[in-house]
Amino acid sequence: MALTNRAPRTNPHGDQPQAPRRASLGAHVRAYVALSKPRVIELLLITTIPVMFVAAGGVPPLWTAVATLVFGTMSAASANAMNCYIDRDIDREMRRTRQRPGAMDLVTPRGALVYGLVLAVGSTVGFALLVNVLSAVLSVFAILFYIFVYTLLLKRRTAQNVVWGGIAGCMPVLIGWAAVTNSLDWAPFVLFLVVFFWTPPHTWTLAMRYKEDYAQAKVPMLPVVATDRRVLLECVLYSWATAIVSVLFWPVAGTTWFYGAVAVALGALLVVQAHRLLNRSRAGVTGAQLKTMGFFHLSNAYLALLFVAVTVDPLIAGLLG
């Protein structure tokens, strides 16, 4: 897993380059952390922790929660690292991803692959021994799905890549529930669907900002192969589906009025903003003037706040007796 600075040093008395200087340990660690895509992992943990509160009917057992977060982080990091290993060629073509360690050769391909595999094994063994076998199986499924179905099969072949590939990002909900109960139920599957329907509009509005990058890398994201109006119409439909399914969690999980009120309010905000984007497109607004990144950031806040409500609701239910 050798790590070196890319630019060779020049001899002060001549033009002959010297051998590259080895990077510091700190730079080495930062490169591997970046390879794990920590910001993506944050989103996954946002959905893992709250569902554990629902599964436990309150505060989950501390050890179970800590172990699930640790091994869940390792699992997600392994999938992200192997994704970077596979996609290092297209990462070099896109402005948004050119700074990734694999694209900049800060981490060797072999180092990235070994790192990902070690994390995958470690997370699986950790889940199986210290949490339960069901959570380990779900974790392995998420890793394999992200690598083989999304990265290798769908990403470079179809505009529906993030729709079905997003299933991997929904798995932390099931893993969190299984970690607490050692079983599955309808409630986590409803939250699974919330994340499933939320993913396409969240990703497509970001992809609209960087569609030239995706086109250059020959990745057929929907904004590359379809008109803005078509993309935003689908964003509206998926936003409606997200809002409706989020409210469905209210009766299925038996939550209090608190979750129901938050879900309705957040869902309405998400749908209204999606319709506003579509209306601007119909009015002839194009490109950066559409301001799709506003919806992207709103969708991040939507998911975070919705799952905060999922976390708080069991505590309110406990107080109400």
**How is the chain split into domains, by residue range?**
33-182, 184-320
- For residue 22, the model assigns a pLDDT of 59
Amino acid identity at 23: A
User: Per CATH, the architecture of 33-182 is what?
Assistant: Orthogonal Bundle (1.10)
Looking at residue 105, what is its pLDDT? 81
**In DSSP terms, which residues pair with 10 in a beta bridge?**
17
Determine which of 5-9, 50-54, 114-118 has the lowest per-residue pLDDT on average.
5-9
Q: What is residue 42's predicted lDDT score, i.e. its pLDDT?
A: 84
| Predicted structure pTM score | 0.89
Angle between helices 167-181 and 133-144 (to 10 degrees): 170
Using pLDDT thresholds of 50, 70 and 90, give the confidence band for residue 104: confident
192-223 pLDDT, tens digit each: 999 999 999 999 999 999 999 999 999 999 99
Question: Using CA atoms, how far apart are residues 65 and 42, in angstroms rounded to an integer?
Answer: 15
Q: Which one, of 269, 271, 247, lies nearest residue 260 by Cα? A: 247
What is d(CA 2, CA 77) in angstroms, rounded to the nearest whole number?
19
In whole angstroms, what is the distance from residue 203 CA to residue 126 CA? Answer: 31
Q: Give the model's confidence band at 320: pLDDT under 50 very low, under 70 low, under 90 confident, else very high.
A: confident
Per residue in 260-295, pLDDT tens?
A: 999 999 999 999 999 999 999 999 988 778 899 999
